[in-house]
Amino acid sequence: MRIIKIFDTTLRDGEQSPGASMNVDEKLHVARQLARLNIDIIEAGFPVASPGDFEAVKRIAEEIKGITVCGLARAKDLDIERAAEAIKPAESGRIHTFIATSDIHLKYKLRMSRQEVLEAAIYAVKKARKYTDDVEFSAEDATRSDWDFLCRVAEEVIKAGATTVNIPDTVGYTVPQEYAELIEYLFNKVPNIDKAVISVHCHNDLGLAVANSLTAILKGAGQVECTINGIGERAGNAAMEEIVMALKTRPKFFNADTRIKTEEIYKTSRLVSKITGMVVQPNKAIVGANAFAHESGIHQDGFLKERSTYEIMRPETVGIPQSKLILGKHSGRHAFKERLRELGYELTPEELDKAFQRFKKICDQKKYIFDEDLEALVSEEVKKVPEVFSLLKLHVVSGTDSKPTATVKMLIRGEEKETTETGDGPVDATYRAISKLTEAKSSLEKFEIKGITGGTDALGEVIVTLEQDGRTVRGYGSDTDIIVASAKAYINALNKLEGRKRIPTKGI
């Protein structure tokens, strides 16, 4: 099986997405995660573009080891010198130099002849080779260039020392069959093509970036340039996660794979989205919120019987803890029953029938059905799984001149236990004590307090969200004493987590 090199340009072309610019620390943060993802080459920036870009490339070259760090440079002296200086500290450094080869760019942008462009390309590659043995040349707008001129440029830059030749679809203009033919043409017409790796770099203006990249791999391209979440100039670049997972999911078809640690994909996608502020659309392949979510009853039923009926990849492979069954008006009885089991409710067939009818009515009234809606639906008629933890006593001391201290007594699996803990506030002290007694492994994701009634004697309601092993549960507690309500909510959530542990969930 061929191993395709992954050249990640999230920090360079990706950063060219409007509004996605990152500061040096943010770029380092992303670079560390890209290294964990095990990409082959990181295009860390365009050093001549700004002092910040120069600094980012340099810092990444200093810190990130085990992958090649690359800096972009136009075919110009100063660009190449700045790129060379920025990548100097790298364990393995690459200069990526480029010039356009299409007649449109030659005529209107560069105002150069083909001969002048050819000479500039050769000069740039030779100059870059003085600083590093790893030089990539890109023929910008290759897909709108004259094919024979492109072949000539490729041959000459390889002679000049380019070790990678990139054939960008700069404006996202090509289509899979045409791009495949172009790559094949280059392999047939460039006599020294075996001396360099052929790389592809596709933009997504027609939504074809990933498809074009994959057809080029089939024709022999050995490197793919891509970005996390497909961010990039205009409609973006080819999305790395889609290319990697296409190869992984269809190994017989492509006979090619990558070195990517796919389990890191989701984490990387979240990080890039958070840092750039570019939201991932819910239906985005591989990393979108709905990529592993099933709503239709027919799909949910098939999935619960055998997940491969409706899933071609496992969410765990890309680092998503589990598939989701969305409960809504399209859902069937099977998924409804499974979710109730997850929440700790075992229903008889008659109870299930009644609850399911009520559920369908609610679905017509509400867009989203939350776990608490389901609990409200069934809690009156069915027995809940017995509680593992319950609160027997809570005594809290706090104020302006004392360290908040909580003494908590609980019944834990039939045994009484008590402890005293201090904390940053009365709730913190209480939670520390409960956590110690129950040996909780979960983390507190969210803590919300609401007043149910008005006035200082109001009944307070607390909702806590806990996360454990990729699962989240919400716990509720209400009391006129807000600390007691907080304790009840925490214990309620812990009981839900325990209930889920005891009931097999078929991987939902």
Nearest residue (CB) to ligand KIV, 73 versus 394: 73
Residue among 168, 344, 423, 426 that touches ligand KIV (CB under 6 A): 168
Give the largest Cα separation in the chain, rounded.
Answer: 88
Q: How many helices (H) and strands (E) does the chain have?
A: 17, 18
Interface mask (CB under 6 A) for ligand KIV, residues 13-32, using x and -? x-------------------
Stretch that binds ligand KIV, among 166-174, 242-250, 298-306, 381-389 (CB under 6 A): 166-174
Interface mask (CB under 6 A) for ligand KIV, residues 85-114, using x and -? -------------x----------------
The CA dihedral of 499, 500, 503, 504, to the nearest 10 degrees, is -170
- Residues 159 and 456: their CA atoms lie apart, in Å, by 83
Nearest residue (CB) to Zn ion, 234 versus 383: 234
Nearest residue (CB) to ligand KIV, 53 versus 338: 53
When asked if residue 156 is in the footprint of ligand KIV (CB under 6 A), the reply is no
317 burial (CB, 10 Å; 0-12 / 13-18 / 19+) is middle
When asked if residue 199 is in the footprint of ligand KIV (CB under 6 A), the reply is no
* SS3 letters across 414-479: CEEEEEEEECCCHHHHHHHHHHHHHCCCCEEEEEEEEECCCCCCCCEEEEEEEEECCEEEEEEEEE
- Residues 498 and 481: their CA atoms lie apart, in Å, by 26
Phi and psi, residue 381, nearest 5°: -100, -20
Length of the chain: 508
When asked if residue 138 is in the footprint of ligand KIV (CB under 6 A), the reply is yes
When asked if residue 258 is in the footprint of ligand KIV (CB under 6 A), the reply is no
Nearest residue (CB) to Zn ion, 230 versus 404: 230
Nearest residue (CB) to ligand KIV, 98 versus 173: 98
When asked if residue 33 is in the footprint of ligand KIV (CB under 6 A), the reply is no
When asked if residue 79 is in the footprint of ligand KIV (CB under 6 A), the reply is no
Residue among 5, 6, 12, 13 that touches Zn ion (CB under 5 A): 13
Stretch that binds ligand KIV, among 164-172, 313-321, 327-335, 461-469 (CB under 6 A): 164-172
| 138 touches, from ligand KIV, Zn ion, none (C-beta below 5 to 8 Å by class) | ligand KIV
Nearest residue (CB) to ligand KIV, 16 versus 296: 16
Strands 460-468 and 471-479: antiparallel
Residue 308 burial (CB count, 10 A) = 9
When asked if residue 140 is in the footprint of ligand KIV (CB under 6 A), the reply is yes
- Residues 67 and 83: their CA atoms lie apart, in Å, by 17
| 140 touches, from ligand KIV, Zn ion, none (C-beta below 5 to 8 Å by class) | ligand KIV
Q: Quickly list DSSP for 259-302.
A: ---GGGHHHHHHHHHHHH--PPPTT-TTTSTTTTEE-SHHHHHH
Going by C-alpha positions, the residue among 64, 153, 55, 53 that lies closest to residue 101 is 153
When asked if residue 213 is in the footprint of ligand KIV (CB under 6 A), the reply is no
When asked if residue 170 is in the footprint of ligand KIV (CB under 6 A), the reply is yes
When asked if residue 201 is in the footprint of ligand KIV (CB under 6 A), the reply is yes
Tell me which residues touch ligand KIV (CB under 6 A): 13, 98, 138, 140, 166, 168, 170, 201, 203
Tell me which residues touch Zn ion (CB under 5 A): 13
